[in-house]
């Protein structure tokens, strides 16, 4: 029997109102691999449509099976890139398949060692403490927007420390991140740049990334002359071609910044909405490491990733043709009742917790260890120096079907400590 059209989980405007968990549930229960239309939205052109994958087991299967579900064929964003841009986009390991992907990943992994990341723990803690104190002391009427006073700066400066970006240049990285991540949001993004055909250029196109790439080359040259104990020095001395170096810098700048930039306010918002869960965390009943994982489960930084079918295949009983777009929805997988008991409940002691907030398979997030470190420290410092988180106004979410962003988070920051 014809079930009619599937619930829409594509429109980025949906996500400004909240992650559409009820729509995800309907898809998981009745149409776990469902065809989605791709109409013109917010001035961005229509596309051919895609298969939405919403169950945890199917999401993991797609992410692990690079031979069937390719990152290389059409890149990893829902929107199709301009075909002329594809060779350029394939320079980054995010848009490559093994074995090429593994070769580049091993190069950058040597720069992102756990030992190097852990060496930044004291600096990360000092920064969290300073930013939270400044938000508390500078608050008007006892409230502050934690995105603009704490979490944006916290994520950015931690990343630039790890990369080795000079202090005077750090604002550039935030500007580039906002341009690339917030392009779907009329309020968060600058006006789109139009191409010769009058259509907006993709923010990831070579025409709009020249400034970032020129900076990456200059910084690498500086690091070769003045090496330091940082990621860019390691990459600059690794013998990479300019194009590879540029794309590594692009990936680390955007993904490395926005992972924590999205997850940190999302975690604080979840705690503000569940005072009992926060109380258990503050008094030590909920183990902090488990709490970090649960907050990542309920607020994954990335909502979706695209693959392209490399051959005719079948997934959850649905036939998929070679060339079809296949999009996995992390936030849906993280709420799959087949894997997580009572998934709508914030259970800070949840174990096991096989969320896919950092992906799975060969493309699992390389910076996950650094992200977890930053989140753990931020929550520790909040418990030590701040009152129980309480909303002081409505939060604002990013208009995006890709990044699970919070662009405004007003919280009470004065009052007795718990």
SS3 50: strand
The neighbour count for residue 87, using CB atoms within 10 Å, is 9
Structural tokens at position 393: 């106004």
pLDDT tens profile 67-114: 999 999 999 999 998 888 888 888 888 899 999 898 888 888 887 788
Q: Is the pLDDT of residue 323 over 70?
A: yes
Domains of the chain in start order, with CATH, are 12-412 (1.10.630.10)
- The pLDDT, as a whole number, for residue 109 is 84
Backbone angles phi, psi at 277, to 5 degrees: -65, -40
More confident residue, 357 or 190: 357
CA dist 232 and 214 (Å) reads 14
More confident residue, 208 or 386: 386
Helix, strand, coil percent content, the chain, rounded in steps of 5 = 50, 10, 40
CA dist 21 and 335 (Å) reads 8
Say which DSSP state 150 is in: I
Per DSSP, the residues of 200-262 read: BPPTTSHHHHHHHHHHHHHHHHHHHHS--SSHHHHHHTTT--HHHHHHHHHHHHHHHHHHHHH
45: pLDDT confidence band, cut at 50, 70 and 90? confident
Q: Is the pLDDT of residue 2 over 50?
A: no
As a whole-number percent, the residues of the chain with pLDDT over 90 amount to 66
404: pLDDT confidence band, cut at 50, 70 and 90? very high
């Amino acid at each position: 029997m014809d079930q009619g059209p599937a619930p829409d989980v594509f429109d980025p405007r949906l996500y400004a109102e909240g992650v559409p968990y009820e729509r995800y549930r309907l898809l998981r229960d009745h149409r776990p691999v469902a065809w989605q239309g791709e109409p013109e939205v917010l001035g961005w052109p229509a596309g051919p449509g895609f298969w939405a994958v919403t169950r945890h087991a199917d999401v993991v299967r797609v992410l692990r099976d690079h031979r069937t579900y390719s990152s290389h064929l059409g890149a990893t964003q829902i929107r199709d890139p301009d075909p002329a841009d594809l060779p350029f986009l394939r320079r980054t390991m995010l848009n490559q398949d093994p074995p090429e992907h593994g070769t580049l990943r091993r190069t950058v992994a040597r720069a992102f060692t756990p030992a190097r990341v852990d060496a930044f723990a004291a600096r990360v803690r000092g920064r969290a403490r300073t930013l939270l104190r400044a938000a508390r002391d500078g608050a008007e009427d006892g409230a502050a927007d934690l995105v603009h006073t704490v979490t944006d700066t916290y994520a950015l400066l931690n990343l630039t420390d790890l990369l080795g970006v000079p202090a005077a240049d750090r604002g550039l990285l935030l500007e580039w991140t906002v341009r690339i991540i917030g392009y779907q949001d009329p309020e968060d993004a600058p006006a789109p740049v139009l191409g010769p055909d009058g259509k907006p250029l993709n923010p990831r196109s070579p025409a709009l990334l020249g400034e970032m790439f020129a900076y990456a080359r200059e910084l690498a040259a500086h690091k070769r002359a003045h090496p330091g104990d940082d990621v860019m020095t390691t990459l600059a001395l690794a013998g990479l071609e300019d194009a590879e170096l540029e794309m590594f810098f692009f990936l680390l700048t955007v993904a490395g910044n926005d992972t924590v930039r999205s997850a940190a306010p999302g975690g604080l918002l979840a705690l503000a909405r569940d005072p009992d869960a926060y109380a258990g965390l503050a008094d030590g009943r909920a183990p902090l490491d488990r709490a970090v994982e649960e907050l990542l489960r309920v607020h994954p930084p990335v909502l979706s990733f695209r693959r392209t079918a490399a051959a005719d295949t079948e997934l959850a009983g649905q036939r998929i043709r070679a060339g079809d777009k296949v999009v996995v929805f992390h936030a849906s997988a993280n709420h799959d009742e087949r894997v997580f008991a009572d998934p709508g409940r914030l259970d800070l002691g949840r174990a096991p917790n096989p969320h896919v907030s950092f992906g799975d398979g060969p493309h699992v997030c390389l910076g996950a260890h650094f992200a977890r470190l930053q989140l753990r420290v931020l929550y520790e410092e909040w418990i030590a120096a701040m009152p129980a988180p309480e909303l002081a106004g409505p939060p604002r979410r990013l208009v995006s079907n890709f990044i699970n962003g919070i662009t405004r988070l007003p919280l009470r920051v004065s009052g007795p400590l718990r």
